[in-house]
Amino acid sequence: MSEQIIMNLVSLVLGIMLFFSFILAPMIFKVLPPDNAGVFIRAIFPYYYLVNLLILSAVAVFYVYYSTFILDFYLVLISALLFFFNLVYLMPKINKFKDDRNEKAFKVSHFTSVVINFAQLIMLGVVLI
């Protein structure tokens, strides 16, 4: 039963990630004026990172509770830590660079967040295999 809960929670995170990355974020910039889109993105992405962090933390707790320290545990743990990194470090930097009109630093940090997101998608996909 715990294996099914873990798979369901990892699937939930993957679904959230895919929805945010490929539907919500592009739609926000397509529908809203640029200033409003930026405000909305800044408001919603902390929740995106936090919700995924909390779900994956719960999954990691299941693995620890059942002393199942296999590759899946480490992939989930790394993904959770990357959500934490994005939430508390990278996202504030991205916002600061944007506010300061430091386009080069903004592009590099934003690209880093995209690469991290893609890596997380791959790691969590491996967990489901």
Q: Is 78 exposed, middle or buried (0-12, 13-18, 19+ CB in 10 A)?
A: middle
- Range of 55's domain? 2-128
Whole-structure pTM over 0.75, yes or no?
yes
Distances from the Cα of 37 to the Cα of 18, 24, 41, 45, 124, angstroms = 19, 11, 6, 12, 28
In the chain, % of residues over pLDDT 70: 99
- Say if residue 112's pLDDT is above 80: yes
* pLDDT value, residue 2: 82
Q: 67 — alpha (psi -120 to 50), left (phi > 0) or beta?
A: left
pLDDT single digits (tens) 33-54: 988 998 999 999 999 999 999 9
Q: At 98, list the tokens.
A: 């944007």
* Overall number of domains in the chain: 1
Cβ neighbors of 123 (< 8 A, separation 6 or more) are 75, 76, 78, 79
C-alpha 91/C-alpha 45 separation (Å) is: 8
pLDDT single digits (tens) 7-40: 999 999 999 999 999 999 999 999 999 889 989 9
